[in-house]
Amino acid sequence: MPELPEVETTRRGLAPYVEGHKLVAFSIHERRLRWPVDIPEDLLGQAVRRLRRRGKYLLAEFDGGALILHLGMSGSLRFVPRGSELLTHDHVELDFGTEQVLRLNDPRRFGCVLWQQGEVESHPLLASLGPEPLENEFSGDQLFKRSRGRRVAVKIFLMDAKVVTGVGNIYANESLFLAGVRPTRKSGSIPRHQWEHVARAVRKVLADSISLGGTTLRDFINPEGRPGYFRQQLRVYDRESEPCIQCGTPLIAVVLGGRSTFYCPACQPAKGFGPVSCRSC
């Protein structure tokens, strides 16, 4: 499950081998991802100017446009020796003329590889994305303003890419625990000062996870897949009935918008803050 931190880790790991390098060859073994894979032939011989991230999208920018890559929930990008045996679910291969070639493997095929001519931000997938959670434009104040009049649960609101991009299910759960806010609360009922704590918690959770993402980076240069360290850092996610690390109360699991949701009924009360007002400060 590549979340924003893993995508960022992937970006940092790939950039040195991709930026400034020409795409010398590519092959598509399975075109049917979320949308049909689209890589124009005339990209061959062109150099990647920059490898950027927007939310969970990786953008490989060329002079005339950009390749938009998304890893869905099971995708990974890794370098393998040229000519290596294809693994099951190796769908796309990109060859930048370096020692190894880049393979996209995605068992569930929720990811995508799409070409956007011209300004990449104008692509429909990117055009309506909200602010980056680790940039300054993201703030409690902005969350407060956007949430007025909204009745959806705060966790669903946080996972809305138009509100803030890149916050997936796991990090929404973890952030709300840190902020002491119950995930089921209506977003419009949350006062400004609590949104400040939520915003800080989101930043902290993502930043901490990126700092642990170095493991993932080594993973795809050394292709022995290993789960990232952040798994062991999870405070509430997938811990139903286990004791809260803060107070020992058994954690509750509910389903919100079809997604698993976990919280501590004591530290994340139905109204207001938990006993420790903010664990992210």
Partner DNA sequence: ACTGGCTCCTGAGGGC
Partner DNA sequence: TGCCCTCAGGAGCCAG
Provide the annotated active-site residues: 2-3, 56, 259
73 or 266: whose CB is closer to DNA?
A: 73
Closest CB 280 distance from DNA, rounded Å = 21
Residue 113's beta-bridge partner residues? 69
Q: Which is nearer to DNA, 48 or 125 (CB)?
A: 125
DSSP code of residue 48: B
β-pairing, 25-28 vs 90-95, is antiparallel
Contacting residues toward DNA, per CB under 7 A: 1, 3, 32, 34, 55-57, 70, 72-74, 88-89, 107-110, 124-125, 149-153, 156, 161, 166, 168-170, 188, 238, 255, 257-260
Q: How far is the CB of 89 from DNA (least distance, A)?
A: 6
CB contact at 8 A, 46 and 62: yes
Give the three-state DSSP class for 102.
strand
Q: How far is the CB of 45 from DNA (least distance, A)?
A: 30
- Distance from the Cα of residue 37 to its chain's centroid: 21
**Which of 166/213 has CB closer to DNA?**
166
How far is Cα 246 from Cα 263, in angstroms, rounded to an integer? 12
Which residue's CB is nearer to DNA, number 150 or number 203?
150
CA distances from 133 to 140, 174, 194, 220 (A): 11, 15, 17, 25
CB of 106 to DNA, least distance (A): 9
Q: Which amino acid would we find at residue 68?
A: I
Measuring CA to CA, which residue among 272, 276, 205 is closest to residue 244? Answer: 276
